[in-house]
A and B are shown apart, each in its own frame.
Chain A
C-alpha cells in the first residue's frame, strides 16, 4: 500500500527532470517565406497607434548598462516617430552569438537587431539567418531614410556585402574608425642618440640596435629593446604588417588582382620578409616575449619604457587615460608617428584595411507585422533630429556646440557632461547606430588634452597621419569563408610562420618549400580557389 507513495514522489520528480531535459519539439523556424515579398516604398505617414519595436544592439560601454526607463529619448521617439522602443543590450562575442542563435531557433528574434559573431564576422551571421528565412529584405527601407542612407549606407561595397540573391538584407553601419593603428617611435630616444627616423628595414634595424645597446633612456642599464609587439591574428598578425609590407606581403592574402590573388606566402618575397624579421630576433633588438605577450601586457610594457618602436592604436596611445601612466613615468618622452619603411623592392605598406562594420537587420517577423516603415522612421530620426540626443545627450546640459561648431563640455557640470562615466548609459547606442565618423564627431570623441610638462596631446594628429599612409584594401576578406579545417589550417599556417620568424626553422628554399607543401596538404590550393571565386562573385576582384 505504501509503495504508491514512493511511486508518486518519484514520478513527480522524474517528470521535473524530464521537463527540464526534454523540451517540446522546436518549432520550425522557417515560418517565414523563403523569399520575403518586396514591399513597395511608401512615404512615411503618421501612424495612429504607436508601433512597438524591440531593438537588440551591443553596448558602447558594456559596463555602463542600458539607459533607464524614464530616458528622455524614449519619450522623444514616441512623440516624434510614434515608436515605442524597447532597447535591450546584446552581449558581445560568443555569448551574444549564442543568444541570437537561440532566439533564431525559437523564431523569437527581435524586430531589429545587430548581427553578433564570435569570430567578428557579422556578414556570416547575417547570411546564416537569411538562409533560414528569418531576416527581411530591406532594399525598400533606404528610400524611407534618405539622410541616414547618405550618411550611413553610402558605401557600395558595404551594401554589396549585405546583399544576397540581389536583395539587401542588412543595413551596414559605417565601420569603426578605419586605419586607426600605426607605427610609432620614441622621438626623445632618437634625439638623445642623434639618430634619424628610419625609412628602410636596414635603418629600422640600425635604430633598433641603437635603442637596445646605447641606453636611450639614460638610466645606466641595458634594459631597453628597439621594438616591441605581440602576435595579433593569424600568421605574423597585424602588428608587424609594416615589416611584412616593406616586402609587399602584408596580411594573409594578395588582393592586387585576379591573376596574382592567393596566399601571400606564395610570394617569393615572403620568406625574405621573414628572414629580415628573424634578423631582428637574432640581434635581440625586439622584446623577446613578443610571441606570447597579450595586448595588455604589451601596453604595460611601452608604458614602462621598455622599447622605442611599436605599432599602436591612436587612442590606446594618446587618449588621456591611456597615456597618463606613461606620461607620469616619462614626462619628457614623446611618441611620434612615422611612415612605413620602404623595402628593397620599393614596397611600403602600413597594413591591411578590412573595414568590418556592424550590420543591422530586420526580422522577417517584424516585416510581416508591418514594422519596417516604423523602423525606417526610427533610424532616420536617429540620423537627424535625434542624432545629438543619442550621441551626446541634451544640448546645454550634457554638451554644447561652440562657436567653431565643435562639441564641447566647457562650463557644464562635469558629472553631467557627455564624457562623464555617469552619463554613458544614455549614449549606449552611439557607436552602433548613431555615429558615422564625421569630423565633428571624431574631434568630440578624441579631444586634445595637456600632458604633465604642458605639451598638447592631439589624438587626431596620430589618426590623421596613420590614415594618410599606404594601406592594402583588404575589405574583400569579408566574403572569404574559412575552410572546413580552418582550425588545423590556421594553426599550421601561423605556427610555421612564427617558427621561421623565431629562427626555430632556418629560412631556406628547402624549408620554405616543405612549409608550403604542408599547407597544400591541408587544402591551401582549394582554399585559395574558393576564396578567389567568392571575391570574383562579389565583384571584389578583377
Chain B
C-alpha cells in the first residue's frame, strides 16, 4: 500500500511539475516577446517585423536610450519614487493601526465599523466626489492628491486584520499585564511578528502607487510633478502620431519597441524588490487570507 501511495505521490508530483511548466511557458512566451520587441533594431523591425529570436549581433538598446535619455525622465523617475515611497509609508501607517484595532474581538462597535468600512468597499463614491474633495482640500498639484485617496485600502486592511487575528491573544494579554499600552503592544509585540504581512501589503501598495497613472493626470497640472507612467504614455502618444509631427518624428525606434521598453523599465523596480520579500509574500497572503 505504502509503495502504491508513493508511486501515486510521485506521479502526482510529476503531473504538477508538468502543469506548472506549461503555465510557466505560457507566462514566459509573452514576456520573452516583450523582451525581444524592446531590443529589436528599427531596421530589422521595418525589414522583417518582430522575430521570435534576435541574432546575438542584431539587437539594440535604442528604445531604452530614447526613453531614459528623455529630458523629463530623471524628474519623472524621481517623482515616481517619491509617490511610491511616501504613498507606501503613509498607507502602511494608516492601514496597520486600523487593521490592528479591528482585529481586537472585543472592540466596542466592531461590527458597526466593519460595516462602514465594507460599505466603502462595496459602493465606490466615483470620480466626481473624490475630485471635489481633493480640489477643495487644495491638494491640486500636490503628491498628497495621489497618495491620500487610496491610502487605506479596504482589501489590504481586511487581509492584514485577518493576520492580526491569527496571532495568539496571549501575547497581547501578557504585554498588557506587563503594563504596555495599546500602541506599545502594537509596536513592540505585534509588528515584529507581522513582517510577512507588512511586506506583502507594502508591496501591494508600492505596486499600486508605482503604476498609478490616472490620478496624476487628473490632479497634477504641473509637469514637473509628472510621474514616470504619465511620461511614458506621453512619449508613446507622440511616437504613435509620427505622421502628424511635422519636421521630423522624434522616435528612432519602432513604436512597439518603445512600448516594450516602457513595460520593462516600469517592471524593473518591482521586479528588483520582489525576490527580497518573496519568502514573506506567500506566508503573508496565505495567513492573512485564511480565517481560522
Contacts and interface: CB of A to CB of B under 8 A. Distances in A.
Contacts of A23: 125, 129-130, 132-133
B176 interface: yes
A95 interface: yes
Interface string A494-538: 000000000000000000000000000000000000000000000
Contacts of B231: 63
Contact of B237 (A7, A62, A106): A62
Given A23-B132, A24-B136, 10 more contacts: A5-B182, A10-B107, A17-B98, A17-B117, A27-B132, A63-B250, A296-B240, A419-B248, A424-B250, A447-B247
B46 A303 contact: yes
A9 B72 contact: no
Interface residues of A, number: 68
Interface residues of B toward A: which range?
Answer: 35 or more
Contact of A89 (B46, B223, B246): B223
Contacts of B129: 22-24, 26
A430 B9 CA distance: 71
Interface string B115-138: 011001000110111111101100
9 contacts: A3-B106, A62-B237, A64-B238, A95-B217, A300-B46, A315-B243, A315-B244, A316-B242, A319-B247
Interface string B245-272: 1111111001110000000000000000
A6 B238 contact: no
Interface in B225-239: 226, 231, 234-235, 237-239
A385 to B, nearest CB: 23
A446 B98 contact: no
Contacts of A178: none
Contacts of B283: none
Interface string A284-328: 000000000000110011011000000001011001111001101
A300 B128 contact: no
Given A13-B101, A98-B218, A325 B250 contact: no
Contacts of A470: none
Contact of B98 (A9, A60, A105, A300): A9
A422 B247 CA distance: 13
A418 B248 CA distance: 11
Contacts of A103: 131
Interface string B14-30: 00000000000000000
A3 B108 contact: yes
Contact of A322 (B98, B235, B243): B243
A188 interface: no
Contacts of B117: 14, 17
B221 interface: yes
Nearest to A17: B152
B213 to A, nearest CB: 9
Contacts of A95: 214, 217
Q: Is the interface of A mostly helix, strand, loop or mixed?
A: helix
Interface string B148-191: 11111010000000000000000000001000011000000000
Contacts of B256: 296
A18 interface: yes
Given A13-B97, A17-B120, A92-B237, A446 B246 contact: yes
A64 B176 CA distance: 59
A488 B26 CA distance: 33
Contacts of A221: none
B131 A105 contact: yes
B113 interface: yes
Contacts of B135: 106, 108
A16 B152 contact: yes
B5 interface: no
Interface of B: 42-43, 45-49, 70-72, 94, 97-98, 100-102, 104, 106-110, 113, 116-117, 120, 124-125, 127-133, 135-136, 148-152, 154, 176, 181-182, 214, 217-218, 221, 223, 226, 231, 234-235, 237-251, 254-256
A232 interface: no
A300 B51 CA distance: 13
Nearest to B148: A20
Contact of A98 (B127, B249, B254): B127
Contacts of A237: none
Contacts of B149: 20
**Across the A-B interface, the 4 shortest Cβ-Cβ residue pairs:** A316-B243, A23-B133, A13-B98, A445-B246
Contacts of A27: 132
Nearest to B232: A63
Contacts of A21: 120, 124-125
A102 B107 contact: no
A61 B246 CA distance: 10
A99 interface: yes
A291 to B, nearest CB: 18
B248 A320 contact: yes
Given A61-B245, A304-B46, A316-B242, A7 B132 contact: no
A413 B18 CA distance: 63
Contacts of A20: 120, 130, 133, 148-152
Contact of B107 (A3, A26, A105, A300): A3
B94 A16 contact: yes
A99 B152 contact: no
Contact of A304 (B49, B101, B235): B49
A9 B246 contact: no
Contacts of B102: 10
Nearest to B109: A7
Nearest to A66: B223
A27 to B, nearest CB: 7
A421 interface: yes
A406 interface: no
A20 B145 CA distance: 11
A2 interface: yes
B121 to A, nearest CB: 9
Interface in A361-412: none
Contacts of B241: 62
Contacts of A66: 223
Nearest to B123: A21
Contacts of B107: 3, 6-7, 10
A64 B100 CA distance: 47
A62 B133 CA distance: 29
B280 to A, nearest CB: 24
Nearest to A19: B133
Interface string A122-139: 000000000000000000
A22 B120 contact: yes
Contacts of A176: 244
A88 B226 CA distance: 12
Given A23-B133, A106-B128, A300-B254, A419 B247 contact: yes
Contacts of B234: 59, 62-63, 65
Contacts of A440: none
Interface string A63-105: 1111000000000000000000000110110010011001101
A74 B256 CA distance: 37
A297 B45 CA distance: 10
Nearest to A442: B246
A301 to B, nearest CB: 8
A150 interface: no
A329 interface: yes
A300 B49 contact: yes
Contacts of B97: 9, 13
A445 B243 contact: no
A500 B76 CA distance: 49
